[in-house]
Structure 1
Amino acid sequence: MPKAYVFTRYGGPETEALVEVDRPVPGPGQVLVAVRAAGVNPVDWKQRTGYRRPGESGSYAFPAVFGNEVSGVVEELGEEVRDLAVGDEVFGRPVEGGYSEYALLSVDLIARKPAALSFADAATLPVAAATALDGIVQLGLPSGATVLVTGAGGGVGVAVVQIARARGLRVVGLASEGKKDLVESFGAVHVPAGPGWTERVRAAAPEGVDGVYDLVGADVLTEAATLPADPAKVVTAGAPAEDVEKLGGARVTRFRTSDRLEAVADLVVKGELDPHVTRTFPLDRAGEALRAVEEGHARGKIVIEVAR
């Protein structure tokens, strides 16, 4: 039986386990993918605690498989699948988790993997890179404008910085002192996090901040929202909608489509986006991968690779 990394109930790391599961069977409009890589994201451990993304309701069926982005090879087609074939290399959002040897993907949340894109890099795109692109598009800032990115050294943050720079924006990146070199390597002006950071941003951007892409939430979001002249130019992927809406901004609106996946893959192929995979772990060490993200130690993206 195939293996998967799961959580058996809501709670902390003590609920996690590597277990054997039934091989999934694709339904209409779905494909079964032999997973080659799975991206690790903060939302993964948050879901273990009972967190719900906007629009979600109900509870998970336990054991629930971790993971929200995968790449792999199509193994089996469900009914009504016309545009994919067994053997196609693809990436996308799994229906029920991706830290596993096999995963189901829906045809409206899947894209073909370009030959120039590795499985590891492709597995970072459906959540982190697509979220980054969605937020930058939503801000709609003109070339030459200045955007502040909070949490600029994380998996989504480095993608936001790069996509913003590719669109001609000046980027100020708020991150820990230990991530200074990382943030600056992608063309942002680094501002160290910690008390007094807003004054440091004002000094780094004396002509003002035109927009904010927040990936931290809480007090950082509240302080960041005071910087742009137009509070509508504040978006967050790090806080609930109600937190940012009371400040005049909005949560990032996600476009979970195959077209969006193809767009971010094209950015990588053109050299405008480096997924910046910094560490990989085998499936039987998925817990270690998750801890690195949950404890805030990740620099860039962490990926679980599934041996074949």
Structure 2
Amino acid sequence: MAKAFGFVDYGGPETQEFLDRPVLEPGPGQLAVAVRAAGVNPVDWKVRRGLLGRERQLPFVMGSEASGVVERIGPGVTGFTPGDEVFGLVAAGAYAEQTLLLAGSSALKPAKVGFDLAATLPVAAATADDAVRDIGLGAGQTLLILGVSGGVGSAAAQIARSRGINVVGTAGDSNRGYVESLGAVQVRYGEGVADRIRAVAPDGVDGILDLIGGEDARAAAVTLADRARLVSTTDPVTAQELGGRFITRSTTPGTLAALAELVAAGELDPNISARYPLAHAAEALALVESGHARGKLVLEVS
């Protein structure tokens, strides 16, 4: 049996508990992995609350991304062998001692990149990379990131800056120093945000990455001339209403390998703000659910 953390019913934190589940055997296109680290993301609590559907079989193990060591490979899998250090998207929950990775959304971990850093890449960094590419700005143009201090925003700011794109990001004033460390200009969110954006970008912005949605997106959109360059990761309805679109995802082994190489080269810092043992998974998830987590949180599995 392997220890895992999940929920037994849809709802709040009271539905979470530790579970014992059998060691999993990989199916076609899967890798059985001994987990070393797992990323903690907002999508995890949204799944538990049933905000992304209620069709999952319960109990359900939480977590979308993990890193670890390959134990066995499933039918049809090539490019991986037992003993490989890997990271990727999971097929059976990441908050666990052992799980299954999707081979088509996994990559070999470079030796220079720790398991903790690798575990942060498949969701937040890969989403950021897809979004920056989807918006399609060039060097010298200005990207506005709504909610820049979170995991996706932090990665997107760094990826955009590495391509010569100027970055403005909304965040609380307490995060000003952190946002500036990403190479971005911080603008306080809330009432009057459009005026504050124009104060640092008098000609408006060339693209918006929306990580918040709702009224925040509507208030900021007036600073963008070409609404087709508004991409949202969180609110497809508002994005479409404003003339933008929801993000197009394409997490491939090549994308993940490229992101890991950026980390190895020191060009991308996942900004892990806290590490928790698996036994403290509830505490880590509560911080992310509060909306006050900076950067990325990671569960480490011994």
Q: Place the TM-score, normalised by the shorter chain, in its bin.
A: over 0.9
Worse-matched range after superposition: 143-152 or 16-25: 16-25
What's the counterpart of residue 20 of structure 1? Answer: 20
Correspondence for 2:147: 151
2:301 is the alignment partner of 1:306: yes
Q: Which residue of 1 aligns with 2:260?
A: 265
In 1: Cα distance, 2:173 partner to 2:50 partner: 32
- For normalisation by structure 2, the TM-score amounts to 0.98
Aligned to 2:11, what secondary structure does the other structure show?
coil
SS at 1:33 equivalent: strand
Aligned to 2:117, what secondary structure does the other structure show?
helix
Q: Deviations over 1:186-239 (max 9, x none)?
A: 110111122111110110111221110010111111122221110001001121
**Which residue number in structure 2 is paired with residue 206 of structure 1?**
202
Matched pairs, number: 302
Distance in 1, matches of 2:81 and 2:222, equals 51
CA distance in 2, matches of 1:91, 1:51: 26
CA distance in 1 between counterparts of 2:286 and 2:17 reads 13
2:277 aligned partner: 282
Q: How does 1:49-88 map to 2 (within 5 A)?
A: 49-52=49-52, 59-88=55-84
Structure 2: distance between partners of 1:81 and 1:254: 22
User: Quick check: 191-200 or 148-157, which moved more?
Assistant: 191-200
Partner residue in 2 for 1:161: 157
* 1:95 equivalent among 67, 91, 106: 91
2:49 and 2:117 map into 1 onto residues whose CA distance is: 27
1:100-126 deviation per Cα after TM superposition (whole angstroms, max 9, x unaligned):
001101210110000111100000000
Unpaired runs of at least 5, structure 1: none
Q: Distance in 2 between matches of 1:162 and 1:202?
A: 22
Aligned twin of 1:253: 248
The alignment-based identity, stated in percent, is 50
Which letter does structure 1 place at the counterpart of 2:273?
T
Aligned equivalents of 2:8 and 2:137: distance in 1?
A: 43
1 CA distance for matches of 2:131 and 2:29? 28
What is the match of residue 42 of structure 1? 42
SS at 1:126's partner residue?
helix
Distance 1:116 1:18 in 2: 32
Q: Which secondary structure state, in structure 1, belongs to the residue aligned with residue 24 of structure 2? A: coil
Q: Deviations over 1:238-269 (max 9, x none)?
A: 21x22211211011100021111112112212
1:184 correspondence with 2:180: yes
Range with bigger deviation, 196-205 or 121-130: 196-205
Q: Report the secondary structure of 2:194's partner residue.
A: helix
State the AA in 1 paired with 2:170: L
Distance 1:188 1:106 in 2: 34
Tell whether 2:291 aligns with 1:296: yes
Measure the CA separation in 2 of the matches of 1:38 and 1:195: 36
What is the CA-CA distance between 1:51 and the residue it aligns to?
2.3
- 2:215 maps to amino acid: D
Gaps of 5+ in 2: none
Coordinate RMSD, CA, aligned = 1.1
Code of the aligned partner of 2:250: F
Task: Write the distance in 2 (CA, Å) between the matches of 1:275 and 1:121.
Answer: 7
Give structure 1 regions of 4+ aligned residues with deviation exceeding 4 angstroms. none
Q: How high is the TM-score relative to the length of structure 1? A: 0.96
Superposed CA offset, 1:5-51 (max 9, x none): 00111100011001211111111221100000000000000011112
Shift of 1:58: 6.4
